[in-house]
Amino acid sequence: MVARHLEARGITDSDVLNAMGKVPREAFVSEPLSEFAYEDSALPIEAGQTISQPYIVARMVELAEVKPGDKVLEVGAGSGYAAAVVSRIAANVYAIERHEELATQARAREEKLGYDNVEIICADGTKGLPQHAPFDAIIVSAGGPKVPEALKRQLAVGGRLVVPVGRGTHQTLMLVRRIGAEAFEEEDHGAVTFVPLIGEEGWDAPEGAETQVDAATSGFANGLLIPSQRAKTLRAKTVRTNLSHMIAGAAEPFGDLDELASLAERFADRRVVLLGEATHGTAQFYDARARITEMLVQKHGFNIVAVEADWPDASVGDAFVRGLPRPEVPKDPFSRFPTWMWRNGQVAAFLTHLKAINENIGDPDRRAGFYGLDVYSLGASIEAVLLYLDRVDPEVARVARQRYGCLAPWRAEPARYGHMALSRGYALCEKPVTDALFELLRHRLGYLAHDGDAFFDAEQNARIVAAAEQYYRIMYYGAAQSWNLRDQHMFDTLERVLAHRGPGSKAVVWAHNSHIGDAEFTEMGQVRGELNIGQLARARFGDEAALIGFGTDRGTVAAASNWDEPMEIKRVRPARDDSYEGHSRDAGIDAFFLETGPGQKTSVRDALAEPLLERAIGVIYRPETERLSHYFQAELSRQFDAWIWFTETEAVAARSVAHPHGPDETYPFGL
């Protein structure tokens, strides 16, 4: 959290960074929300209030210039988290909370953690604590109509007051510095949105539901800071109707998938067309991608369909569509969690159609293949490499068995290997699996003479084993590292398949929007340091790559509630008003194609570049925490070249089946 959400966003005060690293944020939220404790999100707490996002806590403490030895007042203690952070720097902290329930809980938390230099008081925070004044710093975690005069007067000369001023989405973070007995300086530090400051020098009372900000349902939860250069986000929220009208004017409606395919045909001249999905379990997304892909294969010579699936599993589908012998491995493809992602009626129909298209292509080398890009098939890939070597070079196969034997104890549950490597502090199997790949490549020319396609398959499986060993080893070090390794592997696989299929090869890629849309223009890249296939494709292919995203407002989806649990048909909540999905819904068109790239008018592209929320549902869907777990910020016209919209959608045709435990993917939401 400290590195990704604080240092990466410009927090530099070492005292603040150290304090944020010491205080366990999970101790200040309810147990069901503990898994989100170190995300940069505000979280709901009791009394309809919130715990501020980590960045805003760090930012306000840094602005207040809290130093060792200081006496600090906090107004709006809430859960007690910010007071706890300040207490790890200052000598004494007094925190005021107007809700007795919250004050009592905060006291108990501070006591349990042994933070004995914090005093929680239930009172009107706008009056301050004159009996304990003067204060070196005062931090106010709620927005008032003006800077409270009582708090200014309780600053020591040289003291600093940080307070949001304004209401709703029109608040400014102010820094007030007392420079003399009657002299104060004020600085504006950008737009923010906090819950209202209630009290004698604050607002009279909440004005209904809109002022009771709940982090689970509000776009701008308590403590969400929008720096000055990002203040345009607030402007986008106030012109929602205008943006919806603009979308309606620029969108191209379609009545069926043939019409959609015709609209998407404008990208047929590209080398790579990447087709996303907003969920992993929506029938319309699969059917739309299928129809567009069939058009590209049948009319424009695309010969690669590369999907977010495991290579050995996809090879069974590849053999089916190209009329090749069925691979020996795996015996039962797409059997690990989540089975419904590829074992569903939509994919079955697509593969049948692709097979029929291929049968009308006379040259076998021009037929479209079906390839998996993912990194999870450790056990199946080892087995595939050994079966290949047994046929072409038994002696090398014997050595490979010894090398891969290192991973034998963890083949069923490879995540355990990563935990072992972390706890023992070294990569036990890195060198053996890398040596196995190098040995295979060393014999490349000889093996190619036997069967080029078979060698390519074996080489790719050997690369997967090496990548999987690294993936499971680093997955415990942080989401960005494992995510980046996985997406880099998927992109590298795409490039190898393009090279293998020869000059003039062209590919369609199927993956989640979070992999397809350019991460540089989303919270993923800007805050979390993650890259993805779409970003890499643009860097490599430039204008020869088309990135197409998908969205929906409501309906049903196939998803699980927790990792490795059965599939359920879940109802998708209507999209938030302050999201791209909300604006797309409000355009009032059931289904449309919206070009967002260079082919679109500049005014539309600029409007769609305003940072807004975007929804992402993976193999896990938790409607009860949707704002926290399934929305991220994005700039749509920079993220995608086109946006395909279905207002109402339904789940894929699949059923829940028993399956062996699968390795944890992008836990917990499986994107």
Q: How confident is the model at residue 568 (pLDDT cuts 50, 70, 90)?
A: very high
List, as one string, the DSSP characters of 607-622: HTTS-EEEE---SB--
The CA radius of gyration of the chain, in Å to the nearest whole number, is 28
507 strand-pairing partners: 272, 304
Tokens of 504: 């003039």
The one-character DSSP state at 334 is T
Listed residue (230, 218, 221) closest to 190, CA to CA? 230
The SS3 assignment for 407 reads helix
Kindly write down the DSSP assignment for every residue of 214-278, as one continuous string: -TTT-SS-TTEEE-GGGTHHHHHHHTHHHHHHHHHHH-EE-SSHHHHHHHHGGGTTSSEEEE--S
Please indicate, yes or no, if residue 50 is contained in any of the structural domains: yes
Rounded CA gap, 296 and 379, in Å?
34
pLDDT of residue 447: 80
**What local confidence, expressed as pLDDT, does residue 49 receive?**
80
Q: Which residue has the tokens 């986000």?
A: 233
The answer to whether 647 touches 553, Cβ cutoff 8 Å, is yes
- Reported as a single tens digit per residue, the pLDDT across 231-290 is 333 333 333 458 898 999 999 999 999 999 999 999 999 999 999 999 999 999 999 999
In the DSSP assignment, the letter for residue 372 is E
Residue 209: its pLDDT value, please?
36
Contact 205, 617 (CB under 8 A): no
User: How confident is the model at residue 312, as a pLDDT?
Assistant: 94
Q: Say yes or no to pLDDT of 70 above 80.
A: yes
**Structure pTM?**
0.68
Q: Is the predicted pLDDT of residue 350 greater than 90, yes or no? A: yes
How does 437-468 read in b/e, with b if 16+ C-beta sit within 10 Å? bebbeeeeeebeeeeeeebbbbbbbbbbbbbb
Q: Which whole number is the average pLDDT over 160-189? A: 88
Residue 153 vs residue 205, higher pLDDT: 153
| Beta strands in 291-358, from DSSP E residues, in sequence order | 304-310
Q: Which helix (H) or strand (E) holds 332?
A: none
pLDDT band at 656 (very low <50, low <70, confident <90, very high): low
**Cα 27 to Cα 214: distance, rounded to the nearest angstrom:** 19
As for how many domains the chain has, the answer is 1
In a domain, 526, yes or no: no
What does the pLDDT look like over 1-20, one tens digit per residue? 898 789 878 899 999 999 99
Report the percent of the chain where pLDDT is more than 70. 88
Q: What DSSP string describes 425-466?
A: TS-TTHHHHHHHHHHHHHTHHHHHHH-HHHHHHHHHHHHHHH
User: Residue 302 to residues 127, 289, 436: CA-CA distances in angstroms?
Assistant: 70, 14, 33
Res 666 pLDDT > 60: no
Task: Dump pLDDT digits (tens) for 577-589.
Answer: 889 999 999 999 9
Domain hosting residue 91, numbered range: 2-230
635 in any annotated domain? no
Q: Which residues lie across from 614 on neighbouring strands? A: 632
Residue 166: which region, alpha, beta or left (left: phi > 0; alpha: psi -120 to 50)?
left
Residue count of the chain: 671
Name residue 583's amino acid: H
Pick the most confident of 325-334, 427-436, 640-649.
Answer: 640-649
pLDDT of res. 425: 54
Q: How high is the pLDDT of residue 234?
A: 35
Region 313-323 average pLDDT: 96
Look at residue 417 and tell me whether its pLDDT is greater than 50: yes
Classify residue 439: in a domain, yes or no: no
Higher pLDDT, residue 159 or 433: 159
In angstroms, the CA 80 to CA 186 distance is 27
pLDDT classification of 408: cutoffs 50, 70, 90: confident
SS3 369: strand
Give the residue from 275, 318, 270, 268 showing the smallest Cα distance to 298: 268
User: Residue 211 above 60 pLDDT?
Assistant: no
| CATH number for position 203 | 3.40.50.150
CA distance 49 to 102: 9
Q: Long-range contacts for 562-566 (Cβ within 8 Å, ≥24 apart)? A: 562/620, 562/668, 563/337, 563/620, 563/664, 563/667, 563/668, 563/670, 564/337, 564/661, 564/662, 566/656
Token representation of residue 308: 């977010």
Question: HEC string of 494-506?
Answer: HHHHHHHCCCCCC
Q: Would the pLDDT of 445 be above 80?
A: no
Spatial neighbors of 112 by CB under 8 A, at least 6 apart, are: 27
Identify the residue with better confidence: 658 or 473: 473
Residue 203 pLDDT level (bands cut at 50, 70, 90):
confident
- Runs of H (alpha helix) within 360-429: 378-392, 394-404, 415-424
For residue 9, give the 3-state DSSP assignment: helix
Residue 478's pLDDT is 54
Distance CA 86, CA 83 (A): 5
**Is there a contact between 620 and 670 (Cβ–Cβ < 8 Å)?**
yes
Per-residue model confidence (pLDDT) at position 418: 60
The sign of the torsion formed by the CA atoms of 9, 13, 16, 17 equals positive
Q: How does strand 272-275 pair with strand 507-510?
A: parallel
Cis check for the bond before 330: say yes or no (omega within 30 of 0).
Answer: yes
Mean local confidence (pLDDT), 59-70: 96
> Which segment of 21-30, 398-407, 519-528 scores lowest on mean pLDDT?
398-407
Q: Is the pLDDT of residue 213 over 50?
A: no
Q: Give mean pLDDT, residues 487-513.
A: 96
Q: Has residue 449 got a pLDDT over 80?
A: no
- Give the model's confidence band at 80: pLDDT under 50 very low, under 70 low, under 90 confident, else very high: very high
Catalytic annotation, pick one of 30, 34, 52, 505: 52
Q: Mean pLDDT, to the nearest integer, of 203-214?
A: 47
- For the ranges 1-5, 63-67, 330-334, 458-462, which has the lowest average pLDDT? 1-5
Task: Tell me, yes or no, if 52 is annotated catalytic.
Answer: yes
If you ran DSSP here, which 8-state letter would residue 27 be given? G
Residue 424: pLDDT band with limits 50, 70, 90: low
Residue 65 is assigned to a structural domain of this protein? yes
pLDDT the model gives residue 210:
35
In this predicted structure, the answer to whether residue 431 has a pLDDT above a threshold of 80 is: yes
Q: Are 16 and 62 in contact (CB under 8 A)?
A: yes
Residue 8 within any structural domain of the chain: yes
Q: What is the DSSP string of 535-581?
A: HHHHHHHGGGEEEEEEEEEEEEEEEBSSTTPPPEEEEEPPPPTTBHH
What pLDDT band is residue 52 in, cutting at 50, 70 and 90? Answer: confident
372 alpha-carbon distance from chain centroid:
21
pLDDT of residue 411: 63
Q: Is residue 32 part of a domain?
A: yes
Helices and strands: H and E segment counts in the chain = 25, 21
Q: What are phi and psi of 604, to 5 degrees?
A: -70, -45
Strand pairing of 369-374 and 304-310? parallel
Q: What is the pLDDT of residues 592-627, one digit of tens each?
A: 999 999 999 999 999 999 899 999 999 999 998 888
Please indicate, yes or no, if residue 324 is contained in any of the structural domains: no
- Distance in angstroms (rounded) separating the CA atoms of residues 72 and 95: 8
Nearest to 475 by CA among 631, 315, 665: 665
The DSSP letter of residue 137 is E
**The pLDDT value given to residue 379:** 85
Instruction: Annotate 171-225 with DSSP letters as a single string.
Output: EEEEEEEE-SSS-EEEEEEEEEE--B-BSTTSBSS--SGGGS--TTT-SS-TTEE
